[in-house]
Amino acid sequence: MADTDGLLDARDFGTSEPAAGGFHVKGAHGQDWGLRNRLSRIFRPDTGRTVMLAFDHGYFVGPMAGLERLDTRIAPLTPAADAIMMTRGALRTSIPATTGAGIVLRASGGPSILRELSDEHIALDMEDALRLNAAAVAIQVFIGGEHESRSVANLAALVDAGQRHGVAVLGVTAVGKDMVRDARYFRLATRISAEMGAHIVKTYYVEEGFETVTASCPVPIIVAGGKKLPELDALTMAYRSIQEGAAGVDMGRNIFQSENPAGMLAAVRGVVHDGLKPEEAYEIFQEKTAGAAI
Ligand code: 5RP
């Protein structure tokens, strides 16, 4: 199908129809036991959702605010996360091996913020991921970006290695500066990632039509937090994402740059796993913040 003329726009997303399958992780019912077991270390079997704490940002931005000390500021947060996403360098140096969180390893890298960000390569061998007991590996996909094609090939190569060893692959939809962040773009980027074999896709929340993004992606969508927002706004975004079909959050700055990261993590858990409304979860944040100040 080389001819792109005459493609009809998608319109019937079946947003109210549950996904077929019977396993608590969307699209994974046909996978082997080991891969489903690893996905269960990320997505809680009782809720089918995850609160993933992301602190991999240093792989291209260096020590940003909140991530200056991984060992003293981030490691103490990790027991409250279902899964943690970081580089192998961060894991080996700063996270205790006693952690019970599902391990999601950043597997791409190359350019820093000083260069073209889409110029990434696979930067992790699956053998080392297995040595680190990874449940999943994560790779950036730059749909519409300068190195779109290589980033998709990187994803496919990682999926081949992941399927060989039963390790899940998280496709991270990276949005270039010139790209419009709307549901149409995210439907394209998330669907391509899933069709190339990603077992989980991370993307951003959009106010209009997010339910069409989650419905048309055959694997679970988890939502990145993005730039730091006031806590109630971040909780509202998490709440809407879940209501509109996301299977969790993969949140970084809105947790580790909060005035009270542990309180914010507890509040996000309330939204994702306990069905709390944003205002109810914000009360948890306020109580924990007041308690911490005493
Ligand atoms: C960086 C990432 C981050 O893990 C992701 O953006 C989540 O962090 P934040 O909530 O701060 O956006 O993939 O490339």
pLDDT digits (tens, 9 = 90+) for 259-284: 999 999 999 999 999 999 999 999 99
Domain range for 208 is 33-224
Q: Is the separation of the CB atoms in 243 and 215 below 8 Å?
A: no
Q: Is the separation of the CB atoms in 84 and 113 below 8 Å?
A: no
On whether residue 250 sits in a domain, the answer given is no
Q: Coil, strand, or helix at residue 32?
A: coil
Q: Say how far apart CA 224 and CA 221 lie, in whole Å.
A: 10
Helices and strands, counts by H and E, the chain: 11, 10
pLDDT at 181 over 70: yes
Count of positions (residues) in the chain: 294
On whether residue 276 sits in a domain, the answer given is no
66-75, 108-117, 156-165, 241-250: the lowest-pLDDT one: 108-117
On whether residue 282 sits in a domain, the answer given is no
How many distinct structural domains can be found in the chain?
Answer: 1
pLDDT at 63 over 70: yes
Site to probe by mutation for ligand 1, drawn from 172, 221, 237, 272 as the one with most ligand atoms within 8 Å of Cβ, is: 172
What does the pLDDT average to over 214-240?
A: 97
On whether residue 112 sits in a domain, the answer given is yes
pLDDT at 6 over 80: no
pLDDT digits (tens, 9 = 90+) for 20-37: 888 999 999 999 999 999
Residues having CB within 6 Å of any atom of ligand 1: 54, 56-57, 85, 172, 224-226, 250-254
Phi and psi based region of residue 59 (left: phi greater than 0; alpha: psi -120 to 50; beta: remaining): alpha
Query: Confidence class of residue 8 from pLDDT cuts 50, 70 and 90?
Result: confident
Q: How far is the CA of 120 from the centre of ligand 1 (A)?
A: 16
Q: Say how far apart CA 213 and CA 181 lie, in whole Å.
A: 12
User: Among the options 202, 227, 228, 277, which is catalytic?
Assistant: 202
Residues with Cβ < 8 Å from 267, sequence gap 6 or more? 231, 235, 276, 281, 282, 284, 285, 288
In terms of C-beta density within 10 A (0-12 exposed, 13-18 middle, 19 or more buried), how is residue 290 classed? exposed
- Rg (C-alpha) for the chain, rounded Å, is 18
What the block records as the tokens of 210 is: 């997010």
DSSP bridge pairs for 121: 109
Q: What does pLDDT average to over the chain?
A: 95
On whether residue 274 sits in a domain, the answer given is no
pLDDT at 291 over 90: no
CA-closest residue to ligand 1 atom 4: 54
| Ligand 1 nearest atom to the CA of residue 85, by list position | 4
On whether residue 127 sits in a domain, the answer given is yes
CATH number at residue 143: 3.20.20.70
| Ligand 1 nearest atom to the CA of residue 253, by list position | 11
pLDDT at 193: 98
pLDDT at 294: 64
On whether residue 260 sits in a domain, the answer given is no
CA-closest residue to ligand 1 atom 12: 226
On whether residue 140 sits in a domain, the answer given is yes
What does the pLDDT average to over 62-81?
A: 97
pLDDT at 175: 87
What is the longest distance spanned by two Cα atoms in the chain?
66
Q: Say how far apart CA 31 and CA 37 lie, in whole Å.
A: 10
Of residues 143 and 17, which shows the higher confidence score?
143
State percent of the chain over pLDDT 70.
99
Q: How far is the CA of 203 from the centre of ligand 1 (A)?
A: 9
pTM here?
A: 0.96
User: Is 202 noted as a catalytic residue in this protein?
Assistant: yes
Q: Kindly report the number of other CB atoms within 10 A of residue 23's CB atom.
A: 17
pLDDT at 31: 97
